[in-house]
Structure 1
Amino acid sequence: MSGPGHGHGHGQCQCEGHLDPAERGLEYGLFRKIDQERLECLNEFVESDDDEELLFNIPFTGNVKLKGIIIIGDDDDTHPSEMKLYKNIPHMSFDDTGREPDQVFQLSRDLTGEVEYTTKIARFSNVHHLSIHITKNFGAETSKIYYVGLRGEWSEGHRHEVTLCTYEASANPMDHKVDLITPQTHFIA
C-alpha cells in the first residue's frame, strides 16, 4: 500500500528522485542549446577511425552550468573507458589534449544511460564551449558512442562589446571653451 503523495499509476513511478524516461530526457535538454553549425567531432561521430580516441567540440549558444554527463555505448570493448573534459577551448584538436583537463572520469559500460558522471559544478559554471576527449576504451581498436547526454542550466551569453574611450590625465582649460567665467569657476593648474 502506498502512502499519501506516493502513487504508482500505469507503471510510472512518481517518487522523488525517480523519473520516467520522458522526464529524464528533459533533464538532458542542453542539446537544444548547442550551436549545431559549429559542432565538431574529430575521428568521426559514433565510431572512431583508426584508434580508440574521439574528440567532441561542443559550442553552446550561451553560458552553461554543466552538472552531469551520460555516455551510452555498446556492451563490448568498444565502449569508452576514460573521458577527459576541457572547458572554453574552441576548436580544440588532438594536439591540445596534452593540456591539464578540467576533470577526468573513469567510465563504466552503460547501455541505457543510467550512469551519470557528475561534474565539479564550481569548475563548470560558466561554460560556453565544452570539449570531450575519449582517451581509451575497454580494449578494442575503435570506440563507439551511441549517445552523449549533457545535463545543466543554460543562460543567455553576455556580449562584451569594445568601447573606445579617450581619457585626459589632467584637463587643460585651454582645450575646453568656456564662454562665461564666473567667480565660482576655478581652474586647477
Structure 2
Amino acid sequence: MCSHGHSHNCASEHIPEGSGDDVHRYDMVSYIDLDKVTTLNESIDGAGKKVFKVMENRDDRTEFVESDCDHELLFNIPFTGHVRITGLSIIGDEDGSHPAKIRLFKDREAMAFDDCSIEADQEIDLKQDPRGLVDYPLKASKFGNIHHLSILVSANFGEDETKVYYIGLRGEFQHEFRQRVAIATYESRAQLKDHKNEIPDSVTRSLF
C-alpha cells in the first residue's frame, strides 16, 4: 500500500438516497479549469480529469480513473472563477472498487495526501451508485463561495483499488456577476477629474 502518512479515522455523515436522474443538473464542468486538474495516486497519468464529463455522457464507461497502489484518490479541482457548489454525484462500478467515503476541502490548492489529516469541510458516506442516481448535497455555509475544491476518496467497498467513472458537480458560477457589479460601482463613483474634458468650462468654474 502507499504510505500517505495520514489517518482514516473520521466520522462521516449519512446522506439519504435521492433521484438525481432528472431532478438535479450537474453542469459545473464547464467552469472547471480541466487543464489544471490533478489526481494523486491515479494509475494512468491524466485519467482523473476525464471523469469530469458533461452530464449527458456520465454513462460512458470508456473513460475512467483507477487508483494505483491502494484505494485512495485525491482530486484537486480548480475553477475558472468563484463558484457555489451545492451538490455532487459520483459513479463507480458495481463491485468493491466503488468509492465508499469522500472528504471535501475547499480553497486548498495543490493538496497532497499528507495535507488531508486536517479537518475536512465535509465528509460523506457514499452508496454504490453505478447509474448516478444519488445526489449528495453540500453544506451551503462551507461551499457558497469557493475557487478550488479537493475531493479525497478515503475508502471504497473492499477492493484494493478504487475506480471512478464520473464526478458531477452542481451549483452556480458567481465571478462574472460580481465583476459586473464591481465595474458598475466604480463607474458610479467616478471622479470629476476622470471626465474633466467632458464637462463644459462654465460648469467646471462653478464647481471649483
Quick check: 2:98–2:157 contact (8 Å CA) kept in 1?
Answer: yes
Q: What 5-or-longer segments of structure 1 have no aligned partner? A: 1-16, 160-189
Q: 1:135 aligns to what?
A: 154
Percentage identity across paired residues of the two chains? 46
Q: Which residue number in structure 2 is paired with residue 61 of structure 1?
A: 80
Look up the equivalent residue of 1:107 and give its one-letter code. Answer: L
1:109 counterpart SS class:
coil
Give SS of 1:97's match: helix
Q: Deviations over 1:78-110 (max 9, x none)?
A: 001000000000000111010100000000000
SS at match of 2:66: coil
Does residue 104 of structure 1 match 2:102?
Answer: no
CA distance in 2, matches of 1:51, 1:128: 29
TM-score, L = length of structure 2: 0.63
The residue that corresponds to 1:165 in the other structure is none
Change (3 A) 1:98 1:19: closer
Q: 1:31 aligns with which of 29, 34, 39?
A: 29
Question: Is 1:79 paired with 2:98?
Answer: yes
Specify whether residues 58 and 108 from structure 1 end up closer, same or farther in structure 2 by C-alpha distance, changes over 3 A only: same
Q: How does 1:1-189 map to 2 (within 5 A)?
A: 24=24, 27-44=25-42, 45=48, 46-156=65-175
Task: Give the distance between the partners of 1:57 and 1:89, measured in 2 at CA.
Answer: 9
Q: How far did 1:20 drift?
A: 6.8
Q: What is the one-letter code of the residue matched to 1:55?
A: L
1:136-182: CA deviation from partner (whole Å, max 9, x where unpaired): 101100000000000001112678xxxxxxxxxxxxxxxxxxxxxxx
Give unmatched runs, 5+ long, in structure 2: 1-17, 43-47, 49-64, 180-208
Residue 132 of structure 1 aligns to a residue whose secondary structure is: strand
Q: Does the residue aligned with 1:63 lie in a helix, a strand or coil?
A: strand
TM-score, structure 1 as length reference: 0.70
| 38-47 vs 105-114, greater mean Cα deviation | 38-47
Larger Rg: 1
Where do 4+ consecutive residues of structure 1 move more than 6 Å?
17-20
